[in-house]
């Protein structure tokens, strides 16, 4: 009887390690890995994955949507975090409108992600809404 073999791999070959120490620092990291040619047109969601010392293991592009929304699949967020043996994550998405105010959907997904992360002992350190000119931090605002 044949069944599929499941393989999991992750390689971090970056020599200069980046440590996240603040929302401003995480915004800089996210913006450096964002396509600024489409930040004002297409909504994207990325996840910054970190070890227990908040050193960045990598950034995963979770979703790319339209001009006003993106689908965030929590199972994929958690599976990527588990595959990379991450201890903490920061979710980041842009608002093409330039508005840095969280929508009700933003608040809902953040709440759901926080609950899901608690189950597997994964820390969600922040959820950033970014634009080319600035960011909103759920952690800094006390809503995480």
Where along the chain do its domains lie?
Answer: 23-137
Please answer whether residues 43 and 93 qualify as being in contact, where contact means their C-beta atoms are separated by less than 8 angstroms: yes
Between the alpha carbon of residue 41 and those of residues 36, 80, 88, 143, the distances in Å are 10, 26, 29, 27
Q: What does the block give as tokens for 140?
A: 């800094």
pLDDT given for residue 9 in this prediction: 62
pLDDT given for residue 12 in this prediction: 67
**pLDDT tens-digit map of 54-88:** 999 999 998 887 766 678 899 999 999 999 899 99
Match domain 23-137 to its CATH number in 3.40.140.10, 3.40.50.80, 3.40.1390.30, 3.40.50.720: 3.40.140.10
The model's confidence at residue 129, banded by pLDDT at 50, 70 and 90, is: very high
pLDDT given for residue 55 in this prediction: 95
pLDDT given for residue 39 in this prediction: 87
Out of 9-13, 27-31, 63-67, 90-94, pick the least confident: 9-13
Mean pLDDT value across residues 105-114? 95
pLDDT given for residue 11 in this prediction: 67
> How many CB atoms sit inside 10 A of residue 67's CB?
10
DSSP conformation letters of the chain:
---PPP--------SS--B--SHHHHHHHHHHTS-TTTTTT--EEEEEEE-TT-BEEEEEEEEE--SS-----HHHHHHHHHHTT-SEEEEEEE-TT---SPPHHHHHHHHHHHHHHHHTT-EEEEEEEE-SS-EEETTTTT--
**pLDDT tens-digit map of 25-42:** 999 999 999 988 888 889
pLDDT given for residue 7 in this prediction: 67
pLDDT at 1 over 90: no
């Amino acid at each position: 009887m044949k069944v599929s073999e499941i393989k999991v791999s992750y390689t971090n070959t970056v020599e200069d390690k980046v440590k996240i120490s603040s929302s401003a620092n995480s915004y800089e990291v996210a913006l450096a890995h964002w396509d600024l040619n489409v930040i004002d047109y297409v909504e994207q969601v990325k996840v910054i994955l970190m070890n227990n010392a908040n050193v960045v293991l990598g950034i995963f592009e979770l979703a790319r949507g339209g001009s006003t929304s993106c689908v965030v699949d929590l199972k994929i967020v958690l599976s990527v975090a588990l595959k990379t043996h991450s201890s903490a994550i920061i979710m980041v998405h842009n608002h093409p409108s330039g508005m840095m105010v969280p929508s009700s959907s933003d608040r809902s997904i953040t709440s759901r992600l926080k609950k899901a992360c608690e189950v597997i002992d994964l820390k969600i350190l922040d959820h950033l809404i970014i634009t080319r000119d600035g960011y909103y931090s759920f952690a800094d605002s006390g809503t995480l």
